[in-house]
Amino acid sequence: MTDRNYLPNSRIEIIDPDFPRGPKPFALFDFDGTVSLIREGWQEVMIPMMVEIIEDYALPEESPQQRYAVVHEFVSFLTGKQTIYQMIRFAEEIASRGGTPLKPLEYKEMYLERLWERIKDRVAGLQQGTLQPADLVVPGALEMLRALRERGVRIFFASGTDEPNVIEEAALLGAAEYAQGDIYGATADLLDCSKAMVIERLIRENDLQGNEFMGVGDGFVEIEETKRVGGVALGVATDEKNRGGLDEWKRERLMRVGADLIIPDFEEYERLIGLLWGEE
Ligand SMILES: [Mg+2]
């Protein structure tokens, strides 16, 4: 821990001290795991489902642990992309084992049904007011979004979750108002809505320099795409289960793909913005 470089008296870790400081008129936020905790634990739905199905296509001398590792590896690798990509890869895995897979979309529907069982009480709780947005957001995320809006930052949400769900969940959490319609999720037309496309378009349409743009997320897709256009990448390594604190596994992964800064949550958002803007 001692070799980590924190902004003094904070939990904001500076990975690249030379990241470009200054105002960031545009900010793209990943949604699940970065702002919203509604879908917390989705991996614990997707991975067991796949492991269960793939058991019928076990390779000779393959242990259950090895099968689990195969699934875990590609699910993690594709996290942050639209969900269908994980299902495409899964179908390929079955085919490579000599099986005849269902269509990726059928696996996706199966997964979403199971995931809904896990999250329906959270959504209902928010709708009925028995749960508050603060119960299901990354700590400080809404305050961070508000503070950025107050500085005139245009905020985008981009997610691999189906777009109607992202829009509804952002509204339930009181986050949608900060993005003012700039909310993108997965649609049937895959190529039109990837995070890479959203970032490229906003850079092009607004004639932005990379350093005027920041990407914020807990997955490596948004971090990689942000770095590719020269933006500042803020990694959010929240322990989702405990709704706060640092998830070491996420931190490690975010570091590996080039995050400039890593935070456990947004509670120190004022100092964080000061650091990003070059005021501190
Ligand atoms: Mg995420």
CB 231 within 8 A of CB 211: yes
State the average pLDDT over residues 136-160. 96
Query: If you measure from the C-alpha of residue 80 to the centroid of ligand 1, how many angstroms do you get, rounded to a whole number?
Result: 6
Going from the Cα of 33 to the center of ligand 1, the distance in angstroms, rounded, reads 4
Question: pTM for the full model?
Answer: 0.92
Could you give all domains of the chain from N- to C-terminal order, each with its CATH number?
13-37+137-277 (3.40.50.1000), 43-128 (no CATH)
Q: Are strands 154-162 and 26-30 parallel, antiparallel or unpaired?
A: parallel
pLDDT in tens, 2-25: 689 999 999 999 999 999 999 999
Amino acid at 271: R
For residue range 52-92, what is the model confidence (pLDDT) as tens digits?
999 999 999 999 999 999 999 999 989 888 899 999 999 99
Distance from Cα 234 to the centre of ligand 1, integer Å: 12
CB contact at 8 A, 10 and 148: no
The rounded Å distance from CA 215 to ligand 1 centre is 12
Mean per-residue pLDDT, 192-213 = 86
Distance of alpha carbon 54 from alpha carbon 151, whole angstroms: 50
Say whether pLDDT at 259 is over 70. Answer: yes
What b-and-e string marks burial along 39-65, b requiring 16 or more CB atoms within 10 Å of the CB?
bbebeebbbebbbebbeebeeeeeeee
Q: How far is the CA of 127 from the centre of ligand 1 (A)?
A: 23
CA of 252 relative to ligand 1 center, distance in Å: 15
3-class state of residue 9 by DSSP: coil
Give me the pLDDT at residue 194, please.
83
Q: What is the pLDDT of residue 190?
A: 67
98 CA to centre of ligand 1 in angstroms:
33
**Cα–ligand 1 centroid distance for 34 (angstroms):** 6
Which amino acid makes up residue 248?
E
